[in-house]
Copies of this chain bind each other. A is one copy, B any other.
Protein backbone atom coordinates (compact mmCIF):
# COMPACT_ATOMS: atom_id res chain seq x y z
CA UNK A 1 0.00 0.00 0.00
CA UNK A 2 2.88 2.33 0.71
CA UNK A 3 3.65 2.71 -2.95
CA UNK A 4 0.15 3.91 -3.82
CA UNK A 5 -0.32 7.46 -4.93
CA UNK A 6 -2.98 9.64 -3.42
CA UNK A 7 -6.57 8.76 -4.29
CA UNK A 8 -7.06 11.44 -6.92
CA UNK A 9 -4.51 10.06 -9.32
CA UNK A 10 -5.52 6.41 -9.35
CA UNK A 11 -6.11 5.26 -12.93
CA UNK A 12 -9.00 3.41 -14.53
CA UNK A 13 -8.75 0.07 -16.33
CA UNK A 14 -8.28 1.89 -19.62
CA UNK A 15 -5.37 3.89 -18.25
CA UNK A 16 -3.74 0.84 -16.69
CA UNK A 17 -4.00 -0.87 -20.06
CA UNK A 18 -2.35 2.10 -21.74
CA UNK A 19 0.47 2.36 -19.20
CA UNK A 20 1.13 -1.40 -19.31
CA UNK A 21 0.85 -1.46 -23.11
CA UNK A 22 -1.82 -4.16 -23.14
CA UNK A 23 -5.49 -4.30 -24.11
CA UNK A 24 -8.34 -3.42 -21.75
CA UNK A 25 -9.66 -7.01 -21.77
CA UNK A 26 -6.23 -8.22 -20.69
CA UNK A 27 -6.27 -5.92 -17.66
CA UNK A 28 -9.77 -7.17 -16.91
CA UNK A 29 -8.59 -10.76 -17.02
CA UNK A 30 -5.77 -10.03 -14.61
CA UNK A 31 -8.11 -8.21 -12.25
CA UNK A 32 -10.54 -11.12 -12.40
CA UNK A 33 -7.84 -13.67 -11.70
CA UNK A 34 -8.34 -15.49 -14.97
CA UNK A 35 -5.62 -17.87 -16.08
CA UNK A 36 -5.63 -17.20 -19.81
CA UNK A 37 -3.04 -14.43 -19.61
CA UNK A 38 0.69 -14.94 -20.27
CA UNK A 39 2.74 -14.87 -17.06
CA UNK A 40 4.93 -12.00 -18.30
CA UNK A 41 1.88 -9.92 -19.24
CA UNK A 42 0.19 -10.62 -15.93
CA UNK A 43 3.27 -9.44 -14.02
CA UNK A 44 3.51 -6.25 -16.06
CA UNK A 45 -0.14 -5.41 -15.39
CA UNK A 46 0.22 -6.23 -11.69
CA UNK A 47 3.28 -3.95 -11.42
CA UNK A 48 1.30 -1.05 -12.92
CA UNK A 49 -1.61 -1.65 -10.55
CA UNK A 50 0.80 -1.89 -7.61
CA UNK A 51 2.48 1.34 -8.72
CA UNK A 52 -0.58 3.44 -9.47
CA UNK A 53 -3.44 1.80 -7.64
CA UNK A 54 -6.75 1.26 -9.36
CA UNK A 55 -10.18 2.85 -9.24
CA UNK A 56 -13.10 0.46 -9.59
CA UNK A 57 -15.85 2.98 -9.23
CA UNK A 58 -16.43 5.10 -12.29
CA UNK A 59 -18.79 7.46 -10.50
CA UNK A 60 -16.14 8.34 -7.93
CA UNK A 61 -13.61 8.87 -10.65
CA UNK A 62 -15.99 10.94 -12.76
CA UNK A 63 -16.58 13.32 -9.91
CA UNK A 64 -12.85 13.86 -9.36
CA UNK A 65 -11.98 14.31 -13.02
CA UNK A 66 -15.06 16.34 -13.86
CA UNK A 67 -15.75 13.72 -16.49
CA UNK A 68 -18.27 10.91 -16.58
CA UNK A 69 -16.91 8.74 -19.39
CA UNK A 70 -20.32 8.96 -21.05
CA UNK A 71 -21.15 10.07 -24.58
CA UNK A 72 -24.80 10.58 -25.53
CA UNK A 73 -25.99 9.55 -28.99
CA UNK A 74 -29.27 11.38 -29.67
CA UNK A 75 -31.48 10.11 -32.50
CA UNK A 76 -34.87 11.33 -33.68
CA UNK A 77 -36.17 7.73 -33.78
CA UNK A 78 -35.16 4.13 -33.32
CA UNK A 79 -37.49 2.35 -35.73
CA UNK A 80 -35.50 2.82 -38.93
CA UNK A 81 -32.66 0.46 -39.69
CA UNK A 82 -30.90 3.32 -41.46
CA UNK A 83 -29.52 4.35 -38.06
CA UNK A 84 -28.14 0.96 -36.97
CA UNK A 85 -24.66 1.15 -38.53
CA UNK A 86 -24.33 4.72 -37.25
CA UNK A 87 -24.94 3.35 -33.75
CA UNK A 88 -22.49 0.53 -34.37
CA UNK A 89 -19.72 2.83 -35.65
CA UNK A 90 -20.13 5.29 -32.80
CA UNK A 91 -20.26 2.44 -30.30
CA UNK A 92 -16.98 1.00 -31.62
CA UNK A 93 -15.04 4.25 -31.39
CA UNK A 94 -16.48 5.25 -28.01
CA UNK A 95 -15.56 1.84 -26.59
CA UNK A 96 -12.05 2.04 -28.08
CA UNK A 97 -11.67 5.35 -26.23
CA UNK A 98 -12.62 3.67 -22.94
CA UNK A 99 -15.93 5.56 -22.74
CA UNK A 100 -19.53 4.42 -22.88
CA UNK A 101 -22.35 5.26 -25.27
CA UNK A 102 -25.71 6.40 -23.88
CA UNK A 103 -28.63 6.10 -26.27
CA UNK A 104 -31.41 8.68 -26.42
CA UNK A 105 -34.33 8.59 -28.82
CA UNK A 106 -36.26 11.86 -28.96
CA UNK A 107 -39.15 10.55 -31.09
CA UNK A 108 -39.08 14.00 -32.70
CA UNK A 109 -40.55 15.44 -29.47
CA UNK A 110 -38.93 18.76 -28.87
CA UNK A 111 -40.10 18.72 -25.24
CA UNK A 112 -37.91 15.74 -24.67
CA UNK A 113 -34.93 17.70 -25.99
CA UNK A 114 -34.91 19.38 -22.63
CA UNK A 115 -33.70 16.34 -20.73
CA UNK A 116 -30.74 15.42 -22.89
CA UNK A 117 -29.73 19.03 -23.31
CA UNK A 118 -29.90 19.41 -19.54
CA UNK A 119 -27.64 16.37 -19.23
CA UNK A 120 -25.14 18.20 -21.41
CA UNK A 121 -25.47 21.41 -19.46
CA UNK A 122 -25.15 19.86 -16.02
CA UNK A 123 -22.08 17.90 -17.13
CA UNK A 124 -23.53 14.48 -16.44
CA UNK A 125 -22.28 13.49 -19.90
CA UNK A 126 -18.99 14.44 -21.57
CA UNK A 127 -20.31 15.06 -25.07
CA UNK A 128 -23.13 14.55 -27.54
CA UNK A 129 -23.51 12.99 -30.98
CA UNK A 130 -26.64 14.46 -32.48
CA UNK A 131 -28.28 12.81 -35.49
CA UNK A 132 -30.50 14.93 -37.78
CA UNK A 133 -30.47 17.86 -35.38
CA UNK A 134 -33.01 20.67 -35.44
CA UNK A 135 -31.85 24.29 -35.55
CA UNK A 136 -33.22 24.75 -32.04
CA UNK A 137 -31.23 21.83 -30.68
CA UNK A 138 -28.00 23.11 -32.24
CA UNK A 139 -28.55 26.55 -30.73
CA UNK A 140 -29.18 25.15 -27.27
CA UNK A 141 -26.11 22.90 -27.48
CA UNK A 142 -23.97 25.85 -28.49
CA UNK A 143 -25.25 27.70 -25.42
CA UNK A 144 -24.51 24.69 -23.20
CA UNK A 145 -20.86 24.96 -24.20
CA UNK A 146 -20.25 21.20 -24.16
CA UNK A 147 -18.53 19.21 -26.94
CA UNK A 148 -20.91 17.96 -29.63
CA UNK A 149 -20.80 16.65 -33.19
CA UNK A 150 -23.71 16.73 -35.65
CA UNK A 151 -24.49 13.75 -37.89
CA UNK A 152 -26.49 14.59 -41.02
CA UNK A 153 -26.54 18.25 -40.09
CA UNK A 154 -29.58 19.82 -41.63
CA UNK A 155 -28.64 23.28 -40.49
CA UNK A 156 -27.60 26.26 -42.53
CA UNK A 157 -24.58 25.84 -44.76
CA UNK A 158 -22.82 28.57 -42.84
CA UNK A 159 -22.95 26.71 -39.53
CA UNK A 160 -19.38 25.93 -38.49
CA UNK A 161 -20.30 23.38 -35.79
CA UNK A 162 -18.41 20.06 -35.87
CA UNK A 163 -20.34 17.75 -38.18
CA UNK A 164 -20.17 14.68 -40.36
CA UNK A 165 -22.33 14.21 -43.41
CA UNK A 166 -22.34 12.47 -46.80
CA UNK A 167 -22.14 13.71 -50.38
CA UNK A 168 -25.88 13.68 -51.05
CA UNK A 169 -25.61 16.15 -53.92
CA UNK A 170 -22.97 14.05 -55.65
CA UNK A 171 -24.99 10.89 -54.99
CA UNK A 172 -28.03 12.48 -56.62
CA UNK A 173 -25.92 13.55 -59.59
CA UNK A 174 -24.31 10.11 -60.01
CA UNK A 175 -27.63 8.25 -59.74
CA UNK A 176 -29.20 10.45 -62.41
CA UNK A 177 -26.13 10.31 -64.63
CA UNK A 178 -26.17 6.51 -64.43
CA UNK A 179 -29.72 6.53 -65.86
CA UNK A 180 -28.74 9.10 -68.49
CA UNK A 181 -25.79 6.95 -69.54
CA UNK A 182 -28.24 4.09 -70.08
CA UNK A 183 -30.10 6.30 -72.57
CA UNK A 184 -33.00 7.37 -70.34
CA UNK A 185 -34.40 10.84 -70.96
CA UNK A 186 -37.63 10.85 -68.93
CA UNK A 187 -36.30 10.28 -65.42
CA UNK A 188 -38.49 10.88 -62.36
CA UNK A 189 -37.27 11.87 -58.89
CA UNK A 190 -39.19 11.09 -55.68
CA UNK A 191 -38.57 12.98 -52.45
CA UNK A 192 -39.18 16.59 -53.37
CA UNK A 193 -41.03 17.51 -50.18
CA UNK A 194 -38.66 16.10 -47.55
CA UNK A 195 -37.25 19.12 -45.71
CA UNK A 196 -33.97 17.44 -44.78
CA UNK A 197 -30.77 18.82 -46.17
CA UNK A 198 -29.92 15.44 -47.72
CA UNK A 199 -33.19 15.56 -49.69
CA UNK A 200 -32.50 19.09 -50.88
CA UNK A 201 -29.04 18.05 -52.05
CA UNK A 202 -30.31 14.94 -53.84
CA UNK A 203 -32.88 16.75 -55.95
CA UNK A 204 -30.31 19.44 -56.72
CA UNK A 205 -27.91 16.72 -57.91
CA UNK A 206 -30.68 15.23 -60.05
CA UNK A 207 -31.41 18.59 -61.65
CA UNK A 208 -27.73 19.34 -62.24
CA UNK A 209 -27.24 16.01 -64.03
CA UNK A 210 -30.23 16.69 -66.29
CA UNK A 211 -28.92 20.18 -66.93
CA UNK A 212 -25.45 18.86 -67.80
CA UNK A 213 -27.13 16.59 -70.34
CA UNK A 214 -29.02 19.60 -71.77
CA UNK A 215 -32.36 18.16 -70.71
CA UNK A 216 -35.20 20.32 -69.40
CA UNK A 217 -36.57 19.94 -65.87
CA UNK A 218 -40.12 18.56 -66.06
CA UNK A 219 -41.97 19.49 -62.83
CA UNK A 220 -44.35 16.57 -63.41
CA UNK A 221 -41.42 14.21 -62.93
CA UNK A 222 -40.40 15.70 -59.57
CA UNK A 223 -42.62 13.93 -57.07
CA UNK A 224 -43.59 14.87 -53.54
CA UNK A 225 -42.55 12.40 -50.88
CA UNK A 226 -40.99 11.89 -47.50
CA UNK A 227 -38.32 9.20 -47.16
CA UNK A 228 -40.66 6.26 -46.58
CA UNK A 229 -42.16 3.33 -48.45
CA UNK A 230 -45.72 4.59 -48.74
CA UNK A 231 -44.70 7.87 -50.39
CA UNK A 232 -42.62 5.94 -52.95
CA UNK A 233 -45.68 3.84 -53.66
CA UNK A 234 -48.07 6.77 -54.15
CA UNK A 235 -45.61 8.77 -56.24
CA UNK A 236 -45.19 5.82 -58.60
CA UNK A 237 -48.94 5.33 -58.96
CA UNK A 238 -49.19 9.02 -59.89
CA UNK A 239 -46.25 8.87 -62.32
CA UNK A 240 -47.86 5.99 -64.20
CA UNK A 241 -50.99 8.13 -64.74
CA UNK A 242 -49.03 10.71 -66.73
CA UNK A 243 -49.68 11.03 -70.45
CA UNK A 244 -45.98 10.41 -70.96
CA UNK A 245 -44.70 8.36 -67.98
CA UNK A 246 -41.00 8.17 -67.12
CA UNK A 247 -38.82 5.25 -68.25
CA UNK A 248 -36.73 5.43 -65.08
CA UNK A 249 -37.33 6.40 -61.45
CA UNK A 250 -34.74 7.75 -59.02
CA UNK A 251 -36.10 7.18 -55.50
CA UNK A 252 -34.68 9.58 -52.89
CA UNK A 253 -34.00 6.66 -50.58
CA UNK A 254 -34.30 2.87 -50.50
CA UNK A 255 -37.53 2.82 -48.46
CA UNK A 256 -39.17 4.80 -51.26
CA UNK A 257 -37.66 2.41 -53.84
CA UNK A 258 -39.38 -0.48 -52.04
CA UNK A 259 -42.66 1.42 -52.49
CA UNK A 260 -41.83 1.99 -56.16
CA UNK A 261 -41.37 -1.78 -56.60
CA UNK A 262 -44.67 -2.50 -54.88
CA UNK A 263 -46.62 -0.07 -57.08
CA UNK A 264 -44.97 -1.37 -60.26
CA UNK A 265 -45.68 -4.95 -59.25
CA UNK A 266 -49.35 -4.17 -58.69
CA UNK A 267 -49.54 -2.58 -62.12
CA UNK A 268 -47.82 -5.56 -63.74
CA UNK A 269 -44.79 -3.48 -64.78
CA UNK A 270 -41.51 -5.41 -64.51
CA UNK A 271 -38.17 -4.05 -63.29
CA UNK A 272 -35.90 -3.49 -65.19
CA UNK A 273 -37.61 -4.77 -68.36
CA UNK A 274 -40.20 -2.00 -68.42
CA UNK A 275 -38.91 0.44 -65.81
CA UNK A 276 -35.46 1.22 -64.42
CA UNK A 277 -35.28 2.06 -60.70
CA UNK A 278 -32.42 3.40 -58.58
CA UNK A 279 -32.41 4.04 -54.83
CA UNK A 280 -30.25 5.74 -52.22
CA UNK A 281 -28.58 4.46 -49.00
CA UNK A 282 -27.78 0.81 -49.82
CA UNK A 283 -29.75 -0.67 -46.92
CA UNK A 284 -29.09 -4.41 -46.50
CA UNK A 285 -32.46 -5.51 -47.89
CA UNK A 286 -31.80 -3.84 -51.24
CA UNK A 287 -29.41 -6.68 -52.10
CA UNK A 288 -32.24 -9.20 -51.73
CA UNK A 289 -35.00 -7.21 -53.40
CA UNK A 290 -36.39 -8.76 -56.55
CA UNK A 291 -34.58 -7.73 -58.68
CA UNK A 292 -31.68 -6.53 -56.49
CA UNK A 293 -31.75 -2.73 -56.37
CA UNK A 294 -29.13 -0.49 -57.93
CA UNK A 295 -28.54 2.24 -55.35
CA UNK A 296 -26.15 4.84 -53.96
CA UNK A 297 -24.13 3.63 -50.97
CA UNK A 298 -24.30 5.89 -47.91
CA UNK A 299 -21.32 5.12 -45.63
CA UNK A 300 -23.32 4.85 -42.42
CA UNK A 301 -20.83 2.90 -40.28
CA UNK A 302 -18.16 5.43 -41.21
CA UNK A 303 -20.54 8.30 -40.35
CA UNK A 304 -20.83 6.95 -36.82
CA UNK A 305 -17.11 6.26 -36.51
CA UNK A 306 -15.99 9.64 -37.87
CA UNK A 307 -18.41 11.60 -35.69
CA UNK A 308 -17.41 9.69 -32.55
CA UNK A 309 -13.70 10.15 -33.33
CA UNK A 310 -14.14 13.93 -33.60
CA UNK A 311 -16.16 14.01 -30.39
CA UNK A 312 -13.56 11.98 -28.47
CA UNK A 313 -10.87 14.42 -29.64
CA UNK A 314 -12.95 17.40 -28.52
CA UNK A 315 -13.62 15.79 -25.11
CA UNK A 316 -9.91 15.13 -24.67
CA UNK A 317 -9.24 18.73 -25.61
CA UNK A 318 -7.25 17.72 -28.67
CA UNK A 319 -9.40 19.25 -31.41
CA UNK A 320 -8.87 17.56 -34.80
CA UNK A 321 -7.44 19.57 -37.69
CA UNK A 322 -10.83 19.58 -39.31
CA UNK A 323 -14.06 19.03 -37.43
CA UNK A 324 -16.32 19.20 -40.49
CA UNK A 325 -16.18 15.97 -42.45
CA UNK A 326 -18.00 14.97 -45.62
CA UNK A 327 -17.90 11.27 -46.52
CA UNK A 328 -18.18 10.14 -50.15
CA UNK A 329 -21.06 8.07 -51.53
CA UNK A 330 -20.76 5.68 -54.46
CA UNK A 331 -22.89 3.80 -56.98
CA UNK A 332 -23.71 0.14 -56.27
CA UNK A 333 -24.79 -1.39 -59.54
CA UNK A 334 -27.21 -4.31 -59.31
CA UNK A 335 -30.06 -5.41 -61.56
CA UNK A 336 -32.79 -2.76 -61.44
CA UNK A 337 -31.60 -0.58 -64.33
CA UNK A 338 -31.08 -1.38 -68.00
CA UNK A 339 -30.38 0.54 -71.23
CA UNK A 340 -33.50 2.26 -72.56
CA UNK A 341 -32.99 0.61 -75.96
CA UNK A 342 -33.47 -2.80 -74.32
CA UNK A 343 -36.50 -1.76 -72.29
CA UNK A 344 -39.86 -2.82 -73.60
CA UNK A 345 -41.95 0.07 -74.92
CA UNK A 346 -45.18 0.53 -73.04
CA UNK A 347 -48.31 1.61 -74.92
A13 touches B115 (CB 8 A): yes
Q: How far is the CA of A100 from the CA of B68 in the complex (A)?
A: 13
Instruction: Determine whether A324 belongs to the interface, using a CB cutoff of 8 Å to chain B.
Output: no
In the assembled complex, the Cα of A289 lies from the Cα of B261 at a distance in Å of: 9
Contact of A58 among B56, B68, B78 (CB under 8 A): B68
Interface string of A54-83 (1 = CB under 8 A from B): 001111101100001010110000111100
| Bound CA–CA A114/B105 (angstroms) | 28
Does A32 count as interface, using CB distance less than 8 angstroms?
Answer: yes
How many Å lie between the Cα of A124 and that of B28 in the bound state?
15
Q: Report whether B57 and A124 are in contact in the complex, using a CB–CB cutoff of 8 Å.
A: yes
Stretch of A85-93, A188-196, A217-225 on the interface side: A85-93
Question: Does A275 sit within 8 A of B, measured CB to CB?
Answer: no
- The answer to whether A78 and B70 have CB atoms under 8 Å apart is no
A123 at the interface (CB under 8 A from B): yes
Residues 212-243 of A, flagged 1 when their CB comes within 8 A of B and 0 if not, give 00000000000000000100000000000000
Could you say how many copies of this chain the assembly holds?
2
Partner of A32, one of B92, B114, B124: B114
Interface size on A, residues (CB 8 A): 57
B104/A88 in contact, CB under 8 A: no
B59 touches A63 (CB 8 A): yes
Contact between chains at A57 and B123 (CB < 8 Å): yes
Known contacts A31-B118, A102-B100, A122-B58; A87 and B78 CB within 8 A of each other: yes
Is A320 engaged at the interface, CB distance under 8 Å to the other chain? no
Contacts of A108 in B (CB 8 A): none
Judge whether A259 is part of the interface by a CB distance below 8 angstroms: yes
- Within A244-278, the residues touching B (CB, 8 Å) are 258-259, 261-262, 265
Q: List 9 A-B contacts (CB under 8 A).
A: A25-B111, A56-B123, A59-B123, A87-B103, A92-B105, A95-B104, A102-B102, A261-B290, A262-B290
Shortest 6 CB-CB distances between A and B: which pairs?
Answer: A28-B114, A58-B124, A56-B122, A78-B88, A81-B81, A25-B111
